[in-house]
Chains A and B, each alone.
Chain A
Amino acid sequence: MKAGFIVNPVAGMGGSVALKGTDGEETLRRAIELGAQPRASERAETALREFADAARGTLFLTPSGAMGAGLLTKYGIEHETLFETEARTTAEETRRAARMMLEEGAELIIFAGGDGTARDVCAAVGDKIPVVGIPAGVKIHSAVYAKRPIDAGRLIKNFLEGRVKRFTEAEVMDIDEDAFREGRVSARLYGYMRVPDDAEYMQERKSGGGAGSSEESANLAAFLAGSMKPGTLYLIGSGSTTMRLKERLGINGTLLGVDAVKDGAQLGKDLTAEQIKNLLAQEKPEDRSLIITVIGGQGHIFGRGNQQLSPDVIKMIPHENITVAATPGKMAGLFGKSLIADTGDAALDEELKGYVPVVTGHSRRMMVKIE
Chain B
Amino acid sequence: MNNLERMKKFHQAKWNEPIIYELSTPGERAVLVPGPCCDCVSTDEALGTLPAGMVRKERANLPEIAQLQLVRHYNHLSQENIGVDGNIDIGQGTCTMKYNPKINDRLAGQPKVADMHPLQPDETAQGILEVFYKTGELFKEISGLDVFSMQPGGGSHGVLALASIVRAYWRDKGEEDKRDEIITTLFSHPADCAVPIVKGYKVTIIPPDEEGYPDIEAFKAALSDRTAAIFFTNPEDTGIFNVRIKEFTRLAHEKGALCCYDQANANGLLGITRTAEANFDMSFFNLHKTFGAPHGCGGPATGMVAARKELRPYLPVPLVEYSPEKGYYLDFDLPKSCGKIKSFWGVAPVVVKAYSWIMALGADGLREVSRVAILNNNYCMKKILAIRGASISFPNHPSRIEQARYSWQQLKEETGFGTADVQRCCADFGTHYWSSHEPFVIPEPFTIEPSESYSKQDIDDYTAVLAEISRMCYEEPEAVKHAPVNSTVHHIDHDYFDDPAKYAITWRAYNKKYTGYFEPKKG
Q: Are A335 and B222 in contact (CB-based, < 8 A)?
A: no
User: What 1/0 flags go to B437-453 for Cβ under 8 Å of A?
Assistant: 11111111100000000
A355 touches B221 (CB 8 A): yes
Task: Report whether A332 and B215 are in contact in the complex, using a CB–CB cutoff of 8 Å.
Answer: no
Name A364's contact: one of B203, B436, B437, B498 (CB within 8 Å).
Answer: B203
Which residue of A is nearest B439, CB measured?
A332
Give chain B residues whose Cβ lies under 8 Å from the Cβ of A207: 419, 436, 440-445
Answer whether residue A262 sits at the interface, using C-beta atoms and an 8 A cutoff.
Answer: no
- Complex partner residue of A367 from B201, B221, B445, B499, CB under 8 angstroms: B221
Q: For A212, what are the chain B residues with a Cβ–Cβ distance below 8 Å? A: 498
B364 within 8 A of A: no
A87 lies within 8 A of chain B by Cβ: no
Determine the distance from Cα of A364 to Cα of B194 in the docked complex, in whole angstroms. Answer: 9
Set of chain B residues within 8 Å of A166, measured between Cβ atoms: 498
Given contacts A354-B221, A355-B217, A363-B197, contact A208 B440 (CB under 8 A): yes
Assess whether A366 is in contact with B498, with CB atoms less than 8 Å apart: no
Q: Is the CB of B420 within 8 A of A165?
A: no
User: Which stretch (B37-45, B123-131, B204-212) binds chain A?
Assistant: B204-212
Nearest CB of B to A329, in Å: 8
In the bound complex, how far is the Cα of B442 from the Cα of A207, in angstroms?
7
**A20 at interface (Cβ–Cβ under 8 A)?**
no
User: With an 8 A cutoff between CB atoms, is B401 at the interface?
Assistant: no
Question: Contacts of A99 on B, CB cut-off 8 Å?
Answer: none
Q: Which of A166, A205, A367 has most B Cβ within 10 Å?
A: A367
Question: In residues 349-371 of chain A, which contact B (Cβ within 8 Å)?
Answer: 354-355, 357, 360, 362-369
| Contact, CB under 8 Å: B221 / A205 | no
Residues 197-239 of chain A, each 1 if its beta carbon lies under 8 Å from chain B, else 0: 0011000011111111000000000000000000000000000
Pick from A328, A336, A357: contact of B222, CB under 8 Å: A357
Residues in A neighbouring B219, C-beta threshold 8 A: 367
List of B residues within 8 angstroms of A206 by Cβ: 440-441, 443
Q: List A315-345 residues whose CB lies under 8 Å from chain B.
A: 328-329, 332, 335-336
Q: In the bound complex, do residue B441 and residue A367 qualify as a contact, i.e. CB atoms below 8 Å apart?
A: no
B420 touches A208 (CB 8 A): yes
B346 at the binding interface (Cβ < 8 Å): no
A151 to B418, CA, bound (A): 12
Q: Which of B203, B416, B436 contacts A150 (CB 8 A)?
A: B416
Q: Are B186 and A366 in contact (CB under 8 A)?
A: yes
How many residues belonging to B are interface residues under a CB distance threshold of 8 Å?
36
In the bound complex, residues from chain A placing their C-beta under 8 Å from that of B469 are: none
CB-CB contacts below 8 Å: B472-512 with A: 493, 495, 498-499
Let me know if B351 is at the binding interface, CB within 8 A: no
B436 touches A367 (CB 8 A): no
Contacts of B347-365 to chain A: CB distance below 8 A: none
Interface residues of A in 135-187 (CB under 8 A from B): 150-151, 154, 163, 165-166
- Number of residues from A at the complex interface, CB < 8 A: 33
- Contacts A206-B440, A211-B498, A332-B440 given: A367-B435 contact, CB under 8 Å? no
Specify which of A154, A335, A364, A365 is in contact with B441 (CB 8 Å cutoff): A335
Contact in complex: A209, B435 (CB < 8 Å): yes
The smallest beta-carbon distance between B229 and chain A, in angstroms, is 15
CA distance A199 to B437 in the complex (A): 15
Say yes or no for B218: interface residue by CB 8 A criterion. yes
Chain A residues whose C-beta falls within 8 Å of the C-beta of B441 in the assembled complex: 206-207, 332, 335-336
**Cβ contacts under 8 Å, A151 to chain B:** 416
Q: Are A210 and B440 in contact (CB under 8 A)?
A: yes
Residues of A close to B307: CB separation below 8 A = none
Q: How far is A334 from B4 in the complex, measured between Cα atoms in Å?
A: 40
**Which listed residue (B201, B204, B440, B495) contacts A165, Cβ 8 A?**
B495
A351 to chain B, nearest CB (A): 15
In whole angstroms, how far apart are the Cα atoms of A360 and B205 in the complex? 10
Contacts of A354 in B (CB 8 A): 221
Q: Complex formed: what's the CA distance from A304 to B203 in Å?
A: 29
Asked if B204 contacts A367 (CB within 8 A), the reply is yes
Which chain A residue shows the least CB distance to B208?
Answer: A336
B193 contacts the other chain (Cβ, under 8 Å)? yes
Which of these, A205, A328, A367, contacts B206 with CB under 8 Å? A367
CA distance A365 to B441 in the complex (A): 16
Known interface pairs A207-B440, A207-B442, A208-B435; A365-B221 also in contact (CB < 8 Å)? no
Q: Which residues of the other chain, B, contact A165 by a CB distance below 8 angstroms?
A: 495, 499
Chain A proximity mask over B74-105: 1 for CB below 8 Å, otherwise 0? 00000000000000000000000000000000
Please tell me if the beta carbons of A367 and B215 are within 8 angstroms of each other in the complex. yes
Which residue of chain A is the closest to B416 with respect to CB atoms? A150
Given known contacts A200-B418, A211-B498, A365-B203, A355 and B440 CB-to-CB distance under 8 angstroms:
no
B residues 213-234 near A (Cβ < 8 Å) are 215, 217-219, 221-222
Write out the residue numbers on chain A whose beta carbons fall within 8 Å of the beta carbon of B416. Answer: 150-151, 154
Compute how far the CA of A210 lies from the CA of B497 in the bound complex, rounded to whole angstroms. 10
Residues of B near A368 (CB, < 8 A) are 207, 218
- Asked whether A363 lies within 8 Å of B498 as measured between CB atoms, the reply is no
User: Given A208-B419, A208-B420, A208-B435, A364 and B440 touching (CB < 8 A)?
Assistant: no
Residue of B nearest to A210 (CB): B440
- Please tell me if the beta carbons of A365 and B443 are within 8 angstroms of each other in the complex: no
Q: Are the C-beta atoms of A366 and B207 separated by less than 8 Å?
A: yes
**In the complex, B202 has a CB within 8 A of chain A:** yes
Contacts of A328 in B (CB 8 A): 438-439
**What is the distance, in angstroms, from A339's C-beta to the closest C-beta of chain B?**
12
B407: nearest chain-A partner, CB-CB: A207
Tell me, in angstroms, the Cα distance from A365 to B498 when the chains sit together: 23
Contacts of A209 in B (CB 8 A): 435-438, 440
Known: A206-B443, A207-B440, A208-B435. A367 touches B205 (CB 8 A): yes
A150 contacts across to B, CB distance below 8 A: 416
Bound complex: CA A240 to CA B193 (Å)? 26
Report A-chain residues with C-beta under 8 Å of the C-beta of B205: 360, 364-367
Q: Which of B201, B204, B436 contacts A366 (CB 8 A)?
A: B204
Closest to A206 in B: B443
For the complex formed, measure the closest distance between the CB of A154 and the CB atoms of chain B, giving whole angstroms.
8
Contact with A along B382-424 (1 / 0, CB 8 A): 0000000000000000000000000000000000101110000
* Known A209-B438, A367-B222, A368-B207; further 12 A-B contacts with Cβ < 8 A: A165-B499, A199-B440, A206-B443, A207-B442, A208-B418, A211-B498, A335-B439, A335-B441, A357-B222, A364-B193, A365-B203, A367-B215
Q: Which 3 A-B pairs have the closest CB atoms?
A: A355-B221, A335-B441, A367-B218
A-B pairs with beta carbons under 8 Å apart, 15 shown: A163-B495, A165-B495, A200-B420, A206-B441, A207-B419, A207-B441, A207-B443, A207-B444, A209-B438, A335-B439, A362-B197, A363-B197, A363-B203, A365-B202, A367-B222
User: Which residues from chain B sit less than 8 Å from chain A, CB to CB?
Assistant: 186, 193, 197, 201-207, 210, 215, 217-219, 221-222, 416, 418-420, 435-445, 493, 495, 498-499
A interface with B by C-beta (< 8 Å): 150-151, 154, 163, 165-166, 199-200, 205-212, 328-329, 332, 335-336, 354-355, 357, 360, 362-369
